[in-house]
């Protein structure tokens, strides 16, 4: 394979897709490909897709249309669709875009080299059959040199009635704790300071793993994993996402309070504040249980940052049920809340239910929820004013080169004056002078602060 070919990857969707794209980029670079910032300059174009909502799915088709036209002028162009739309559509995608060379589901990300060799032998390839995800040895081409994604569990065994993830990402497959620790140790040696442990339903980590934990416990859990990887040298901060209220235990909360490297930021989607809607969603908890979880988190870590996801306009959702969602948001006061209008997804139970709501009703509820979210986030941000926060510097502020930017332990984006060449990867004390709903600005504090690293 000639070594001057260039590749471009466009990634849609969640952190899991971003992590998959980093690994696929690593495989392509090992095969001799070079990154091309401009897709139109690339000899290989890969779209790593998302199908969580219809608008996410539709995005890729417009991109593909352009590349398919290009392929007629440039037959050597290699065109790939990966990720959740690839898994959902499979062969149908080849009929829709016959110019495609490879359609590969998320479980096949590590197999990109084998699949491409079949393509270079002149085949059109579809790889969507369920496979056991083998431990990946590739060297991901990571987007950051400071923070890194580390997969701990793939797939999801839940059956939320609106969600397409189990259909496209398959059953839960947990990585061995030793493999996760080895990857984190390598990251620590490479100078990374923060790791986010990833899973669609991360609190289910380990329930599919046989045998005992390295500490001899009979059941692997996320809590055990946090204790097991906490002392990896070089890694200063550990985050994890995405949690599920059904499995979010007090034992996990206590561990997070006890382990200093674990950031006090929890992403726990609640989806609806109404028990009947939660039942119809098959989420497996009640608003009361959710409120107790947040209460317990705040008992152990009063300043913890809480973020979540919420869906409005689920089939059959009444105005009163929607108002229960607003009441929950009012009561908890989230630091951040990702909101979306319900979107019927292929192969999910709720998509065929009679009681679908109109787009107008959904849009109205989304707008009202977003307004409340911004108001509450601005209130929550006030607590930072005048405080000294430890910020891990990740980058230069793209809007102001005299400033650097990074995140507090509570995952708040923060800006302050500084030289990125000197401060990148440092945890610096910053006195907060300006607060906004979703970000902060402050002045670097010269005095030494515990946990600061430069």
Chain residues that interact with ligand SF4, rule: CB under 6 A: 156, 158, 160, 163, 165-166, 200-201, 244
Instruction: State which residue, 93 or 165, has the beta carbon closest to ligand SF4.
Output: 165
Instruction: State which residue, 53 or 244, has the beta carbon closest to ligand SF4.
Output: 244
Residue 392 near residue 261 (C-beta atoms within 8 A): no
Instruction: State which residue, 25 or 165, has the beta carbon closest to ligand SF4.
Output: 165
Instruction: State which residue, 7 or 334, has the beta carbon closest to ligand SF4.
Output: 334
Cβ 283 to ligand SF4, closest distance in Å?
A: 7
Cβ 160 to ligand SF4, closest distance in Å?
A: 3
Instruction: State which residue, 51 or 414, has the beta carbon closest to ligand SF4.
Output: 51
Instruction: State which residue, 153 or 435, has the beta carbon closest to ligand SF4.
Output: 153
Cβ 267 to ligand SF4, closest distance in Å?
A: 12
Cβ 145 to ligand SF4, closest distance in Å?
A: 30
Order across the sheet with 194-198: list the strands: 147-151, 194-198, 237-241
Peptide bond before residue 242 is cis, with ω within 30 degrees of 0: yes
Rg (CA), the chain: 23
Instruction: State which residue, 158 or 323, has the beta carbon closest to ligand SF4.
Output: 158
Whole-angstrom distance, CA of residue 452 vs CA of residue 389: 10
Cβ 181 to ligand SF4, closest distance in Å?
A: 25
Cβ 155 to ligand SF4, closest distance in Å?
A: 9
Closest CA to 301 of 293, 309, 313: 293
**Which tokens belong to 240?**
């994890």
Residue 310 near residue 369 (C-beta atoms within 8 A): yes
Cβ 285 to ligand SF4, closest distance in Å?
A: 11
- Using left for φ > 0, alpha for ψ between -120 and 50, and beta otherwise, residue 5 falls in beta
Whole-angstrom distance, CA of residue 125 vs CA of residue 115: 7
Instruction: State which residue, 164 or 440, has the beta carbon closest to ligand SF4.
Output: 164
Which residues touch 186 (CB under 8 Å, ≥6 apart)?
none
Cβ 29 to ligand SF4, closest distance in Å?
A: 30
Lookup result for tokens 């009441």: 327
Instruction: State which residue, 282 or 413, has the beta carbon closest to ligand SF4.
Output: 282
Residue 432 near residue 440 (C-beta atoms within 8 A): yes
Cβ 202 to ligand SF4, closest distance in Å?
A: 10
Cβ 248 to ligand SF4, closest distance in Å?
A: 12
Instruction: State which residue, 52 or 232, has the beta carbon closest to ligand SF4.
Output: 52
């Amino acid at each position: 394979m000639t070594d001057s070919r260039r590749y471009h990857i466009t990634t849609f969707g969640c952190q899991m897709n971003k992590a998959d794209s980093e690994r696929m980029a690593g495989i392509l670079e090992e095969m001799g490909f070079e990154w091309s910032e401009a897709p139109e300059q690339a000899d290989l174009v890969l779209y790593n897709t998302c199908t969580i909502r219809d608008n996410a799915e539709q995005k890729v088709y417009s991109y593909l249309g352009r590349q398919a036209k290009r392929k007629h002028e440039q037959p050597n162009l290699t065109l790939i669709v990966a990720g959740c739309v690839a898994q959902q559509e499979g062969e149908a995608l080849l009929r829709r875009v016959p110019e495609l060379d490879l359609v590969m589901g998320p479980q096949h990300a590590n197999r990109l080299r084998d699949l491409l060799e079949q393509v270079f032998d002149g085949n059109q390839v579809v790889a969507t059959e369920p496979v056991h995800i083998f431990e990946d040895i590739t060297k991901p081409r990571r987007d950051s040199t400071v923070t890194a994604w580390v997969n701990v569990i793939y797939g999801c065994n839940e059956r939320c009635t609106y969600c397409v993830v189990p259909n496209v990402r398959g059953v839960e497959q947990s990585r061995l704790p030793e493999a996760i620790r080895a990857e984190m140790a390598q990251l620590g040696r490479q100078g990374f300071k923060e790791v986010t442990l990833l899973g669609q339903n991360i609190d289910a980590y380990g329930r599919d793993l046989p045998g005992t934990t390295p500490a001899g416990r009979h059941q692997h859990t996320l809590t055990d994993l946090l204790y097991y990887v906490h002392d990896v040298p070089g890694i200063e901060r550990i985050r994890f996402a995405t949690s599920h209220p059904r499995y979010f235990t007090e034992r996990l909360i206590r561990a997070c309070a006890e382990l200093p490297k674990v950031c006090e930021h929890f992403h726990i989607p609640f989806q609806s504040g109404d028990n009947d809607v939660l039942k119809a969603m098959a989420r497996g908890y009640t608003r009361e249980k959710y409120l107790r979880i947040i209460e317990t988190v705040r008992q152990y870590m009063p300043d913890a940052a809480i973020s979540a996801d919420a869906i409005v306009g689920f089939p059959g959702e009444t105005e009163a049920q929607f108002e229960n969602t607003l009441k929950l948001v009012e009561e908890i006061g989230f630091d951040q809340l990702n909101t979306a209008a319900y979107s019927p997804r292929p192969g999910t139970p709720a998509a065929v239910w009679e009681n679908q709501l109109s787009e107008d009703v959904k849009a109205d509820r989304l707008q009202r929820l977003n307004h409340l979210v911004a108001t509450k986030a601005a209130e929550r941000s006030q607590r930072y004013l005048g405080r000294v926060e430890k910020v891990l510097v990740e980058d230069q502020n793209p809007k102001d080169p005299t400033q650097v930017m990074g995140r507090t332990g509570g995952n708040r984006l923060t800006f302050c004056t500084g030289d990125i060449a000197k401060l990148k990867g440092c945890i610096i004390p910053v006195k907060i002078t300006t607060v906004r709903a979703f970000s902060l600005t402050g002045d670097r504090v010269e005095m030494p602060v515990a946990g600061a690293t430069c």
